[in-house]
Copies of this chain bind each other. A is one copy, B any other.
Amino acid sequence: MTVITLTTDFGMDDWFVGTIKGVILRLAPEARIVDLTHEIPAGSLRAGAFALMAGYSFFAKGTIHVAVVDPGVGSGRRAIAVQTARYYFIGPDNGVLSFALRHEKIVAVRELANDALFLKPVSRTFHGRDLFAPVAARLARGLAFAKLGPPVQDPVRLPWPELRSDRNGIAGEVVHVDRFGNLITNIDAEMVRSLPWATPAVVVKGRRLCAVAECYAAVPAGDAVAVVGSSGLLEIAVHRGSAATQLGLTVGSPIKLRAD
């Protein structure tokens, strides 16, 4: 009972995701399909790559992760599958897989070039249904990875926003705003643990915003707090409120850590 996860920008208003599942279950009736999310903003490769990175590692070994944010569908862009030590990843070769792959040991990358595996006729606008779904289903049924197509040497990678640090502090940025308005940054738990200051503080727009604490409830309702969140990244929250709304920050907003 292999698990296949889906991460897309197809939304839930149309029949798109349903038909992807129909195609998968036709070929692999015993597969378990889990939606990671379908609410990636339309065409946002970075948001899709981030969601996949945040979620993929909580699934069982052998899980097949399909990510379809595909603004170049029908053009010349390649489709790929990546085998890592623990998982398979399938999607367009536009970087949507690349944030997750930063954390995985890559075993093999293949181009999806064997059109005997696809749903015919292959549309020019919906490879999620006609190409990625049947390939995922066939892998779930045990198809040899090498049958997918020729090896790929240079899959597209999106640039991860790196931290910059000097003696005054560490400069990062907001990489995701979640449903609660929490501002997830590119500062990871390991970095937070290795900070040289006893009491680090978050600086936003040049002003000290809040301390780094253990949980949201460390501050009174309505106050800001920074915690290492469930994705292993530092996030800025407002206890029982929305940091995004209250602080006016969004994806790309710069934030700093310094001694309090």
Contacts and interface: CB of A to CB of B under 8 A. Distances in A.
Interface of A: 1, 3, 5, 7, 10-19, 21-23, 25-26, 29-30, 32, 34-39, 42-43, 51-52, 54-55, 58-60, 63, 71-75, 119, 123-126, 129-130, 176, 178-180, 214-217, 227-230, 235, 240
A166 B49 CA distance: 49
A86 B35 CA distance: 27
B125 A215 contact: yes
Contacts of A59: 19, 22, 25-26
A173 B52 CA distance: 38
A56 to B, nearest CB: 8
B55 A18 contact: yes
Instruction: Output the residue of A11, A71, A180 with the most chain B CB within 10 A.
Output: A180
A72 B217 contact: yes
A15 to B, nearest CB: 3
Nearest to A26: B60
A15 B35 CA distance: 8
B129 A58 contact: yes
A124 B58 contact: no
A178 B14 CA distance: 6
A214 B74 contact: yes
A228 B126 CA distance: 11
A32 to B, nearest CB: 6
A17 B178 CA distance: 12
A146 to B, nearest CB: 27
A55 B19 contact: yes
Contacts of A38: 12
A42 B125 CA distance: 28
B216 A22 contact: no
A258 to B, nearest CB: 23
Contacts of A129: 58, 230
B18 A5 contact: yes
A13 B38 CA distance: 7
A59 B214 CA distance: 38
A12 B39 contact: yes
Given A11-B179, A37-B12, A179-B13, A63 B29 contact: no
